[in-house]
Amino acid sequence: MMYCQMMRVISSPSSSTTGLSTLIFDIGISLAFGEAGRSTCPAVEGMRHAIAKRTGPRKRYQNRSAASLCALLDRRAGDAHSACGEGPAADSAAWEDGRMADFDFDFVDVGEGRLHYARAGDPSRPLILFLHGFPEYWAAWSAVMATLADDFFVVAPDQRGFNLSFKPEGEAAYRTKNMVADLARLADHLSPARPFVLAGHDWGASVAYAYAFAHPDRLTHLVIANGTHPVCFQRAILEDEGQRAASQYFHVLRSPDAAARMAENDFARTMKMLAGFSRTDWMTPEAAAGYRAAWSQPGAMQAMLHWYSSSPIVVPRPGETVSDAPLLAVAPERVSVRVPHLVLWGEADEALRPVCLEGLARYAPDLTVQRVAGAGHWILHERPQDVAAAMRAFLQRG
């Protein structure tokens, strides 16, 4: 198979630069390219990673032939994965107003395993780390990153359990403290001596808040897009009937057979859940293919669902009385945000109701809340330019 032959030669320690160049153009160009769009298949992404490894992990494709092929792969990627019978991998680029953001991809060892991440922009510029939520992967932030990459070094990992990052077994591995440790390793790898900006959405917001509580000295700003402070969220679930009703999906995702059910019929339930949280008219066929590719990674769906089963959030069923919610007993000083904090809130969110913002100022004295009418839970996809503009203005204030 062309792809398999190419990977063998690229991966060979003895392959010369000339041999690599010849193979790239003799075999790589022969791949059957489909319609314009960024690849989400393992053949193309495997070649990208292998080429990057052969030409240097820190400088993008110094070999001119490798650069040419990767640019071609970025422009017109087809179904080479079918030649090897492998499942797809979900690396993609964002098109925004006709402009493609060129992302590099790499891995970092965080102790237990390796985190995969996307990056763009000049590493000498201020770092913004972006954290995705469920059931997404790094590309949730890609359109926002594309807009900010001219002025910032923008990086988004696949969090543990998602897409191409490591997937440890067992619920305990997905407690928030472990994701915070992953983030700390990644941040220290990318910006060891310089504080950075942290942004999170959905579950990514939960990790971002937890990191901000534990490492305020490492941050300059905290940005949250349709995500919740853990104490405010817990209180909203217990005290507001609307939020309690909106959070009942937790029980579905915590059920023993959830992984199998969410994967049935080409992830039909997962796609339906996305639409249930907010409108998904932004979901192009290419984007849907990227999601299905990420969810199809071995062990991914079960690992993603462990984020729910390991969470301390208590979600009573309608009419149920709850006597114990551990998060409400946490001392306020342990869950305070000590850096300038921006919350971007799509008001049409069906999963997180506005009541989730109540009481947030108690934990974040330097708080700015910017509500976005007409946007929903998937604000990063619905209004990426507005998100990027709001972030830029907030960060320029100092």
57-81, pLDDT tens digit by residue? 333 333 333 333 343 343 333 333 3
Question: 206 and 224 in contact (C-beta within 8 Å)?
Answer: no
Show the domain range for 179: 95-396
**What helix, strand, coil percent values describe the chain, rounded to 5?**
50, 15, 40
| Distant-in-sequence, close-in-space partners of 382: CB < 8 Å, separation ≥ 6 | 278, 279, 282, 346, 375, 376
In a shared domain, residues 46 and 122 = no
Cβ count near 75 (within 10 Å) = 14
Q: Residues 148-152: what's their mean pLDDT? A: 97
Establish if 90 belongs to a structural domain: no
User: Over the stretch 113-137, which tens digit does the pLDDT of each residue have?
Assistant: 999 999 999 999 999 999 999 999 9
In a shared domain, residues 72 and 214 = no
In a shared domain, residues 113 and 229 = yes
Task: Match 């000083």 to its residue by tokens.
Answer: 333
Establish if 44 belongs to a structural domain: yes
Q: Residues 202-218: what's their mean pLDDT? A: 98
Q: Among 83, 113, 130, identify where a domain stops.
A: 83
In a shared domain, residues 112 and 79 = no
User: What CATH number does residue 344 fall under?
Assistant: 3.40.50.1820
Establish if 164 belongs to a structural domain: yes
- pLDDT of 67 reads 36
Establish if 114 belongs to a structural domain: yes
In a shared domain, residues 45 and 106 = no
Angle at 54 between CA 50 and CA 60, to 5 degrees: 85
Task: Match 């507005």 to its residue by tokens.
Answer: 386
Establish if 205 belongs to a structural domain: yes
Q: Count the residues in the chain.
A: 398
Question: 64-75 vs 17-27: helix axis angle to the nearest 10?
Answer: 30
- pLDDT of 242 reads 96
In a shared domain, residues 235 and 362 = yes
Q: Nearest CA to 332 among 361, 308, 294, 298?
A: 361
Establish if 89 belongs to a structural domain: no
Q: Residues 272-301: what's their mean pLDDT? A: 96
In a shared domain, residues 103 and 182 = yes
Q: Max Cα separation, the chain?
A: 71
Q: Among 56, 83, 110, identify where a domain stops.
A: 83
Instruction: Please state the pTM of the whole predicted model.
Output: 0.79
In a shared domain, residues 139 and 252 = yes
Establish if 303 belongs to a structural domain: yes
Distance CA 262, CA 306 (A): 13
Q: Among 62, 83, 104, identify where a domain stops.
A: 83
In a shared domain, residues 38 and 124 = no
Six-digit token string for 277: 């949280």
**Above 50 in pLDDT, residue 313?**
yes
Q: Residues 327-341: what's their mean pLDDT? A: 97
- pLDDT of 337 reads 98
Distance CA 306, CA 137 (A): 15
Q: Which residue did the predictor score with more confidence, 221 or 92? A: 221
- pLDDT of 90 reads 52
Question: 196 and 129 in contact (C-beta within 8 Å)?
Answer: yes
Distance CA 22, CA 16 (A): 10
In a shared domain, residues 22 and 131 = no
The mean predicted confidence, pLDDT, of the chain is 82
Establish if 212 belongs to a structural domain: yes
In a shared domain, residues 68 and 158 = no
| Distant-in-sequence, close-in-space partners of 210: CB < 8 Å, separation ≥ 6 | 176, 177, 179, 180, 230
In a shared domain, residues 44 and 183 = no
- pLDDT of 324 reads 85
Long-range contacts of 70-74 (CB under 8 A, 24+ apart): 72/28, 72/29, 72/33, 73/28, 73/39, 73/44, 73/47, 73/48, 74/38, 74/39, 74/100, 74/102
Domain count, the chain: 2
Q: Residues 284-293: what's their mean pLDDT? A: 97
